[in-house]
Structures are given as structure tokens and as C-alpha cells.
Amino acid sequence: MPLRHKSAQKRARQTLKRTKRNKNQKVLMKSSIKNVMSQKDKNSAETELKKTISIIDKAATKGVVHKNKAARTKSKISKHVNTLK
């Protein structure tokens, strides 16, 4: 941690907090995606898909992931759910 300037110390603290928050958001998003991809039943997959899309959109809005990555991921999991019977 920077020792000299109070503002540098504060920025370091803020960075740690934000990094932790962003990492938690990413882990939540990834585990939710895996949950949808592992579903075998279409009905349960569709309910999980709605939750997952909401989580992905929130992550994109907050800048945790890029909006194009969010769109690509949503497309991928929607495509998977549509192939289920």
C-alpha cells in the first residue's frame, strides 16, 4: 500500500474494495451460466435462463463485463436452452 500520500492510500483501499466486488459479480455470473448450461429439462432451464440474463445484464451495466460479451453470452445460453426438448 502506498505510504506517502493520503489520496494514494485511499485510492488503493477503493481499488481493493472494487476488485473484490467485481470478482464476486463475475463468480456469480459464471456459476449461473454453468447452472443453465447443465440443465437437461427445458422448463427448469428457462426459469434459470431468466435469472441468469438478469445477472448478466447487471454485470454489463456496472461495467464488470463488456456489453458485447454480455450479449454474446446471453445468445449462447439462449441458443442452448432452445435446443433442449
Distances from the Cα of 22 to the Cα of 10, 16, 26, 60, angstroms: 18, 10, 6, 11
Per-residue pLDDT of the chain (85 residues; tens, 9 = 90+): 677 899 999 999 999 999 999 999 999 999 999 999 999 999 999 999 999 999 999 999 999 999 999 999 999 999 999 999 8
What pLDDT is attached to residue 3? 76
The full DSSP string for 28-62 is HHHHHHHHHHT--SHHHHHHHHHHHHHHHHHHHHT
Q: Which amino acid is at 47?
A: T
Q: What is the pLDDT of residue 1?
A: 66
**Per-residue pLDDT at 44:** 94
